[in-house]
């Protein structure tokens, strides 16, 4: 991103210089910055090379805007060569923080030329959007141009990165040797992308996922964990948490003080968690029915263990999609197993605009479908690569510079370790997710699960829906749409954070806030304009809401299991560690 300082054509140049995209940040140095980096979501398509090239071609296939942009760029480059141009990096763009970018005439002109080019590339996408192009095509073009712009930054090349050159000189070349070793490691073990974290610093079950509990039920699809109460009394109606089938569940149980599970138990809730098995090609036929059936069986186990007639559920991200199809199935059957449902940054209506539209071209989706069916799974590496390229400055090129050019080790943060600990997605489930994504089958009522048509409008249980103001993957207005799709009483809360940062958001953060209580009669923007802003985290508002729907207090059980479902092993269990016990 660039920013023009006062001068010639001030207003126009400010607009132009703000186009290239998010401000590049260095590798994270604290927990808050690490959370800012991890804003991935659930991939439902993998962009093909053809699709990326088509996006770039679409942006450039505009004779008028291209010729005008080329003329402006030539004028800017001439001005840069004369030393009179006013292009300067954004103050928060850490790529150009080294003094050489402002003091050395060669590096200054090199940086200014790149910023001028980036501004014009961003303008081309904006002009493409103004030409009434389909928003899916615009997002594909924006994805491609963003990746191209980030890759062209001179800071990514050793001869054009003054900080890396100084580091090499100061270390007598040792930084280059370390960087070469890390580059070779990443080529062999990380698909050629730079590592974002030193995963060796954390062990699940020893450093992460520490809330006490037991696996009380296991089948081939998932383990069911019950967490031990941390209060003398618990609410009568239990909570089942449904994490996404992409990624490990323990982003909800990182470390003490940063654990959603720990907080929920501290509020007197009896908490159960599904831990999905990481599928291989042998599980290629697992589909939405498979996962929906497992959620229903977990509900039955919980009802038996707790001695209740129904449960509350909470679905995160794609887990919210699975929760919705279960709710739709229960509504069609006239069953009342679920008393209330909560959603964490879940998108159900894929007719709304989102950056994921970059992957929604029919050919790209069909290629992704064919690839996963051929392999049996869509791999964790493929899923992670998609979202790295959605934020290339933050998730790729910062680490190219840090790890390969500067020879520094990647950072050590729990949330980054979780982010790197990916899982596969079975081909059948992937194919059905693609159908939901491309044809919007869930929101439009064209999906059948467990033999019943799914009509979200028949869901009448109370729902609590969350969105994140800075979520660029599942936009908050799209998350709000859930409250309009279901028919039961709904509460919407809008966090001030991003996709993952809004979920790992314990109380006590002075920067955390959320909106709640707006007027829902005229859509999301009116809701936000009329909502009350509160300091704190949505965890607190959600817990208050759920406690009211969790029945009376009762003494906390000494053990969480019963004779039908004895403890199998302590939490975090085996599946999160990719172990497969014989009982599975």
Please state, in angstroms and rounded to a whole number, the distance separating the CA atoms of residues 91 and 114. 16
Asked, as a colleague might, if the bond just before 572 is cis with ω within 30 of 0, I would say yes
- Residue 210, CA distances (Å) to 203, 206, 225, 259, 577 in order: 10, 7, 12, 9, 14
Q: Which helix (DSSP H) or strand (DSSP E) does residue 366 occupy? A: helix 362-375
Query: At CA 300, angle to CA 299 and CA 301, rounded to 5?
Result: 90
Which residues, including other chains, have CB under 8 Å from residue 473's CB and lie 6 or more apart? 39, 40, 41, 354, 355, 356, 387, 390, 499
Contact between residue 94 and residue 25 where contact means Cβ atoms under 8 Å apart: yes
User: 7: which 2 tokens?
Assistant: 């001068």
- 3-state SS of 387-403 is HHHHCHHHHHHHHHHHH
Bridge partner residues of 316 (DSSP): 344
Please state, in angstroms and rounded to a whole number, the distance separating the CA atoms of residues 187 and 185. 5
Count CB neighbours of 548 within 10 A. 11
Please state, in angstroms and rounded to a whole number, the distance separating the CA atoms of residues 399 and 405. 9
User: 134: which 2 tokens?
Assistant: 């389909």
Burial class (CB in 10 A: 0-12, 13-18, 19+), 220: middle
Query: At CA 86, angle to CA 81 and CA 91, rounded to 5?
Result: 125
In sequence order, what E strands does 345-410 have? 377-378
Please state, in angstroms and rounded to a whole number, the distance separating the CA atoms of residues 124 and 141. 10
User: 305: which 2 tokens?
Assistant: 């263990």
Please state, in angstroms and rounded to a whole number, the distance separating the CA atoms of residues 453 and 570. 38
Whether 479 is a known active-site residue: answer no
- 3-state SS of 159-180 is HHCHHHHHHHHHCCCHHHHHHH
Tell me which of 35, 176, 302, 317 is the catalytic residue: 317
Bridge partner residues of 562 (DSSP): 565
Please state, in angstroms and rounded to a whole number, the distance separating the CA atoms of residues 250 and 570. 15
Give the active site residues. 317
């Amino acid at each position: 991103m660039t920013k023009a300082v006062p001068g010639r054509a001030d207003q126009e140049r400010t607009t132009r210089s703000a186009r290239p995209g998010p401000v590049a940040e260095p590798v994270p140095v604290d927990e808050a910055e690490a959370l800012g980096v991890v804003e991935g979501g659930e991939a439902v398509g993998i962009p093909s090379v053809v699709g990326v090239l088509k996006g770039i071609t679409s942006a450039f296939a505009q004779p008028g805007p291209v010729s005008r942009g080329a003329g402006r760029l030539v004028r800017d480059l001439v001005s840069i060569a004369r030393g009179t141009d006013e292009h300067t990096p954004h103050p928060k763009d850490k790529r150009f923080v080294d003094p050489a970018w402002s003091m050395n005439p060669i590096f200054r002109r090199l940086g200014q030329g790149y910023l001028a080019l980036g501004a014009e590339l961003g303008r081309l996408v904006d002009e493409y959007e103004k030409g009434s192009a389909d928003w899916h095509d615009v997002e594909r073009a924006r994805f491609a141009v963003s990746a191209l712009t980030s890759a062209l930054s001179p800071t990514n090349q050793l001869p054009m990165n003054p900080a890396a050159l100084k580091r090499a000189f100061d270390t007598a070349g040792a930084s280059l040797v370390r960087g070469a070793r890390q580059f070779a490691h990443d080529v062999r073990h990380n698909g050629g992308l730079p590592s974002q974290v030193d995963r060796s610093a954390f062990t699940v079950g020893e450093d992460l996922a520490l809330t006490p509990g037991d696996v009380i039920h296991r089948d081939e699809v998932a383990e069911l964990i019950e967490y031990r109460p941390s209060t003398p009394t618990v609410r009568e109606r239990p909570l089942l948490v449904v994490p996404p089938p992409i990624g490990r569940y323990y982003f909800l149980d990182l470390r003490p003080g940063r654990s959603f599970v720990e907080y929920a138990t501290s509020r007197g809730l009896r908490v159960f968690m599904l831990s999905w098995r990481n599928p291989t090609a042998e599980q290629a036929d697992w589909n939405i029915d498979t996962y929906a059936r497992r959620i229903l069986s977990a509900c039955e186990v919980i009802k038996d263990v707790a001695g209740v007639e129904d449960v509350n559920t909470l679905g995160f991200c794609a887990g919210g999609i699975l929760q919705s199809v279960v709710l739709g199935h229960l509504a069609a059957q006239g069953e009342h197993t679920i008393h209330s449902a909560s959603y964490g940054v879940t998108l159900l209506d894929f007719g709304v605009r989102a950056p994921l539209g970059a992957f929604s071209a029919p050919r790209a989706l069909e290629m992704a479908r064919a690839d996963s069916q051929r392999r049996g799974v869509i791999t964790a590496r493929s899923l992670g690569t998609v979202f790295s390229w959605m934020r290339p400055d933050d998730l790729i090129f910062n680490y190219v510079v840090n790890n390969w050019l500067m020879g520094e080790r990647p950072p050590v943060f729990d949330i980054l370790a979780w982010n790197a600990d990916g899982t596969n997605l079975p081909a059948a489930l992937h194919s059905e997710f693609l159908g939901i994504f491309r044809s919007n089958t869930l929101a439009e009522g064209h999906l059948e699960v467990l033999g019943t048509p799914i009509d979200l409008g028949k869901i009448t249980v109370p729902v609590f829906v969350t969105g994140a103001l800075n979520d660029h993957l599942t936009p908050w207005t799209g998350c709000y749409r859930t409250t309009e799709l279901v028919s039961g009483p709904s509460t919407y809360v809008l966090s001030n954070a991003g996709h993952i940062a809004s979920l790992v958001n314990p109380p006590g953060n002075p920067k955390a806030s959320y909106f709640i209580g707006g007027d829902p009669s005229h859509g999301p923007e009116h809701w936000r304009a009329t909502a009350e802003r509160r300091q704190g985290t949505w965890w607190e508002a959600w817990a208050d809401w759920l406690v009211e729907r969790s029945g009376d207090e009762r003494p906390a059980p000494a053990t969480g299991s019963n004779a039908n479902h004895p403890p199998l092993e302590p939490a975090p269990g085996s599946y999160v560690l990719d172990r497969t016990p014989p009982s599975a």
